[in-house]
Structure 1
């Protein structure tokens, strides 16, 4: 699965499913080329696409007509909300002069476009005694070798055993590949004259292994004449796409902002690969709606075949945030006061708040609520006398609630030569459970007096330059943090204030590395109003586990065709999931429908994920001063 699809597993971007809605194209524009739907922002003809990067040419010389990607001259066979698929892949053809060791290369540069090669692609070589190398133009990133057991014009090569190999790709926008003949090094005569290297989608779990007839390697015309007809499938390339290169907060203030439907939501994207960082945003319809978020009126209410997410007669949405039961707006619309939501309609769009915590809700899903908060610890002093002028501790108290701090939150400290001390759990106030030190290196002040600090954190370290982060244990219901100035080490960089706050940072893979950068100013002005982090709270039903809760069926809230899941073995409480083969809201009756009764099941499943909708939020915090 590509990073663009992974970025929202809690912040869910819609995974692979064809776009479907009543409104597809701009008024007066073609919405199809042959049998292929052309959804905006793509378009055929002048002023029918968002910008030239999304132009599509429809060639009527074939029956049916075929759509071609204008900027790449490749045939498009599928448009999706996060990717497109192209036939006729980029390919190296090498029919060697047997007296030399010529190297054959190709390069594809998607920089400056909204596209990147999906990590669902692989670099493939087919041939006998050949090696393909992937590079970024300056250094080799990987490669693989294809060997044949023997020459057989009637045989087949496949990517498990014979005459084929794959090299993984990782969401790159620039690719250079080189095909090298290894027959001289293998100390045997080259079995076939030709070899090929190309980009293709990786084999899906339920597909047969890619294979091809070995006679493709006899000469340059064999593959060209057959056009992959005798292979298990023709190679197809997947390109992930974004609608813009800005993040959501900046894009929303631009006159080119693409999420124009009132039921649309902006979703941030950020992916790093080595020294390359790709950022941008895309759009999707809010939960309960489907269709095209790039067109006014493009997001349509999901039809009655879908399950309700709120109690009858209750609001199922506040602004752009869906409100699924057991949460609710208004009397008798929520399960218990912990889930009472206030919808503030004084803003545009309206904003939901958890009444209990008086904090804005950014997203609700089947196990978490993401909230905005300004609880920031600060420590300001006179830099020459170390005379503290302002001190505020960071304190989170959830003891009397159904919420716990998610372990996908981090405590972040920014400052120079400051140590963070954190107490976890009110019953252990004298015990420091988590700490880190933010140390500044020399020379990271720019010409405007701003100091650049950065956090790098991964499987083994949570440190940085002027910044440090520490994880929060799952189940934490009380947290208190304070900062202490360090007299050592002494550097030329000093700032008057240091800050600590909790911020959500989704962990997708235990081996992932994350990085984030902040700008702060060398003065003693408090920055509480400039910090707007998001914080993830795990929620649960009650304090009993599933076995205990089932003893009191009158108060047991998992409805028919649902399964009970213990929240935590030691903390108690439970959650409800849809049983296999059912979709919808497991807390309502009737709230679930058989999957077979729901049209467009894949789209429905991924939109709801136990009514887990789409939301947009930065995965970090940027302080701009």
Structure 2
């Protein structure tokens, strides 16, 4: 289990200022994963939010295969997105299997997932509860089982009706999860189970990133869901850098996190809290002084040349303009640039019919 370096910080460090910045020597990469501020490894390299913090302080651990991976508490971090305010981590697949010796399902277990002491929430937009198996009903519920419960049932009328990529009830089902949760319990309903006569002997349930999950029939027929994924799948977490709204946060200049000049505040959709983004036409890290840099749309190879006439793009702070060259006129953005007609030529052409 990874140990959070954040726990070693004194309480006085919880006061942040607009000028407070991570040290230049901070490690910003672990293995092949970039670690942008407010996340970081080691003292002075991440945003410290208070005692018990498990949000932004990461560790870089050596894994069983010899590679180095970033961890937040015991969760391996796959990547961090500043603009979306999200982090992807690896989540355990929960398994419940038929025991041929006892001729029953193994004793029911429940799996807890808890980041309630952090500034994370489980993304309701990015994740789904997925249940894989035959005659299997599983659910996600709040810890006290009174706030919410959601689940679904996967059935297997016949092997021939299973279909790769389909998670609509045959061998696989999915359910939306509530907004704003930071802890949950996964469990199987004992009245429904996989029997020795059914296809496959195990059932699986997991909250997983919707975009990364694709059902395969072998997950049921050969039970290779855990083996093919290493027992873990991506989970999307939403995070915030403050638990106030943007309007409230701006009133406290010493703690406001959107410190880059060309940045803006964005209210969280998961309730009180906010993020920072670079303004339109800028990119970088809005949590760093001068962290948002102008995008040169005229020269950046990631973008198609924005003007219809070559050589007419002029970069401007946060944007660009298409300007016809000197002695030409027209529309360099949509049309063409043509040479200007000489005023003298126009005068002569008009006066010629009246010349003696």
Same fold (TM over 0.5): yes
Which position in structure 1 is the counterpart of 2:122?
117
Which position in structure 1 is the counterpart of 2:61?
59
Q: 1:95-127, CA deviations, whole angstroms, 9 ceiling, x for partnerless residues?
A: 256447965433323334221111111001111
**2:47 corresponds to which of 45, 50, 60:** 50
Which position in structure 2 is the counterpart of 1:84?
87
What is the Cα deviation at residue 36 of structure 1? 1.4
Work out whether residues 101 and 181 of structure 1, in 8 Å CA contact, stay in contact via their aligned partners in 2: no
User: SS of 2:247's equivalent?
Assistant: helix
Work out whether residues 133 and 141 of structure 1, in 8 Å CA contact, stay in contact via their aligned partners in 2: yes
**1:178 corresponds to which of 187, 191, 197:** 187
Which position in structure 2 is the counterpart of 1:247?
245
Which position in structure 2 is the counterpart of 1:238?
236
Distance of aligned partners of 1:45 and 1:139 in 2 relative to their CA distance in 1, 3 Å threshold: closer
Which position in structure 2 is the counterpart of 1:452?
none
Distance of aligned partners of 1:125 and 1:28 in 2 relative to their CA distance in 1, 3 Å threshold: same
Distance of aligned partners of 1:101 and 1:75 in 2 relative to their CA distance in 1, 3 Å threshold: closer
Work out whether residues 269 and 279 of structure 1, in 8 Å CA contact, stay in contact via their aligned partners in 2: yes
What is the Cα deviation at residue 279 of structure 1? 1.5
User: SS of 2:189's equivalent?
Assistant: strand
Work out whether residues 286 and 292 of structure 2, in 8 Å CA contact, stay in contact via their aligned partners in 1: yes
Distance 1:293 1:83 in 2: 15
User: SS of 1:250's equivalent?
Assistant: helix
Between the two structures, name the one with larger relative contact order (CA 8 Å, sep ≥ 6): 2
Distance of aligned partners of 1:558 and 1:199 in 2 relative to their CA distance in 1, 3 Å threshold: farther
Distance of aligned partners of 1:127 and 1:100 in 2 relative to their CA distance in 1, 3 Å threshold: closer
Which position in structure 2 is the counterpart of 1:202?
210
Which position in structure 1 is the counterpart of 2:266?
267
User: SS of 1:203's equivalent?
Assistant: helix
Q: How big is the alpha-carbon RMSD for the aligned residues of Structure 1 and Structure 2?
A: 4.0
Distance of aligned partners of 1:264 and 1:157 in 2 relative to their CA distance in 1, 3 Å threshold: closer
Is 1:298 aligned to 2:291, yes or no?
yes
Distance of aligned partners of 1:190 and 1:92 in 2 relative to their CA distance in 1, 3 Å threshold: same
Q: 1:334-385, CA deviations, whole angstroms, 9 ceiling, x for partnerless residues?
A: xxxxxxxxxxxxxxxxxxxxxxxxxxxxxxxxxxxxxxxxxxxxxxxxxxxx
Distance 1:249 1:214 in 2: 48
What is the Cα deviation at residue 84 of structure 1? 1.1
Work out whether residues 219 and 225 of structure 2, in 8 Å CA contact, stay in contact via their aligned partners in 1: no
Work out whether residues 92 and 106 of structure 1, in 8 Å CA contact, stay in contact via their aligned partners in 2: yes
- TM-score, normalised relative to structure 1: 0.39
- TM-score, normalised relative to structure 2: 0.66
What is the Cα deviation at residue 161 of structure 1? 6.0
**1:27 corresponds to which of 24, 29, 33:** 24
Distance 1:216 1:114 in 2: 40
User: SS of 2:110's equivalent?
Assistant: strand
**2:277 corresponds to which of 278, 284, 288:** 284
Which position in structure 1 is the counterpart of 2:8?
none
**1:193 corresponds to which of 189, 201, 204:** 201
Which position in structure 2 is the counterpart of 1:593?
none
Which position in structure 1 is the counterpart of 2:173?
165
Distance of aligned partners of 1:315 and 1:158 in 2 relative to their CA distance in 1, 3 Å threshold: closer
Bigger proportion of residues as strand: 1
Q: Which runs of 5+ in 1 are unaligned?
A: 1-23, 272-277, 326-553, 562-587, 590-625
